[in-house]
Chains A and B, each alone.
Chain A
Amino acid sequence: MSFASWHDFLYMGGHYLYVWSSYGIGVLGIAVTLIRTLRARRRFFMEQGQRLRRQSISAEAADAPRSA
């Protein structure tokens, strides 16, 4: 630990603005990259699931006997 206290850590020797904004940008960038790709996968499955359900519903409707 090269900082004496939490306060010193946050203060970063006066450079807190630069260090923390940089780290914020970096972490945000990593998070955005990760979340975008995960969400794309989830969205794909949701949309395709809906599409398949709609297909099977219309297929059932086509097969169903007409009411007499």
Chain B
Amino acid sequence: MGRLKTLWHRLGSPRWFFEISGPWAIGALVVGLVCIAVGLVWGLAIAPPDYLQGNSFRIMYLHVPAAILSESCYILMGLAGAVLLIWRMKLADMVVAAAAPIGVVFCVIALLTGSIWGRPTWGTWWVWDARTTSMLVLLFLYFGVMALRQAFPREETAGRAAAILAVVGMIDIPIIKYSVDWWLTLHQTSTFKLTSAPSMPPQMYLPLLISVLGFYVFFFGVLLFGVGNEILRREQRTQWVNDLVRSRAS
């Protein structure tokens, strides 16, 4: 318990976090990219084609991880927002700021790849199925948080306002997903499942796992790196940052 408390206190120091997170960020970036590469190549070239969908199912190896990550990222943002509001930890605000743009990119990837995947499978460029619809709403939620952040001139106010919205959005996400799922069964479009995870043979399933893992690790790396950038930006007038700059310049 004591070690956890020390860790918690240390997190209040941006400088400590910056120094600790540096190597982890680089490591995560490398490992993540390698895993993604392995997963994607395996899924592209080695996995057997799907019985029904032919080769277009391979889009799954991009679409599914991106979708999962964009949702996890929002939840992370919500949790970080809660930490900011409850404990006023500046680091939490930086996590929100750094995570949002990454989540948006993954969300857009998920939406675009989902739409493209839909074309050969169902013949239309856009389909209102459960995943694409909740992805779209998620994109709107991201947009709201980022827009709210931009609207306030004071950084601290902006962070707290965005945090409140992120927390409310995070609580709303399961409700949105449930209602969208229910909305689809109501409207009798057949329950399209872009992935039928349990009934996938391991040769299809394994590269998906690796890809998802790779995306997670990569996300973690980019997040740490982005938080590091935030720390540097906010602490740019301090001695330790100036020393760091000087040592880099030489």
Contacts and interface: CB of A to CB of B under 8 A. Distances in A.
In the complex they form, do A and B come into direct contact, defined as C-beta atoms under 8 angstroms apart?
A: yes
A20 to B, nearest CB: 10
Nearest to A12: B55
A34 to B, nearest CB: 6
Interface of A: 1-3, 9, 12-15, 18-19, 21-23, 25-26, 29-30, 32-34, 36-38, 40-41, 44-45, 48-49, 52-53
A44 B241 CA distance: 11
Q: Is the interface of B mostly helix, strand, loop or mixed?
A: helix
A19 B233 contact: no
B120 interface: yes
Interface stretch (B2-10, B88-96, B184-192, B218-226): B218-226
Interface of B: 29, 33, 36, 40, 44-49, 54-56, 58-59, 62-63, 66, 101-102, 105-106, 108-109, 112-113, 116-117, 119-120, 218, 222, 225-226, 228-229, 232-233, 236, 241-242, 245-246, 248-249
A28 to B, nearest CB: 9
Q: What secondary structure prevails in chain A residues at the interface with B?
A: helix
9 contacts: A9-B44, A12-B56, A15-B56, A18-B120, A29-B66, A33-B101, A33-B102, A44-B229, A52-B246
Contact of A22 (B47, B54, B59, B228): B59
A45 B226 CA distance: 14
Given A13-B55, A40-B229, 12 more contacts: A2-B45, A2-B49, A22-B59, A23-B44, A23-B62, A29-B109, A30-B218, A41-B232, A48-B236, A52-B242, A52-B249, A53-B249
Contacts of A33: 101-102, 105, 222
A44 B232 contact: yes
B87 to A, nearest CB: 26
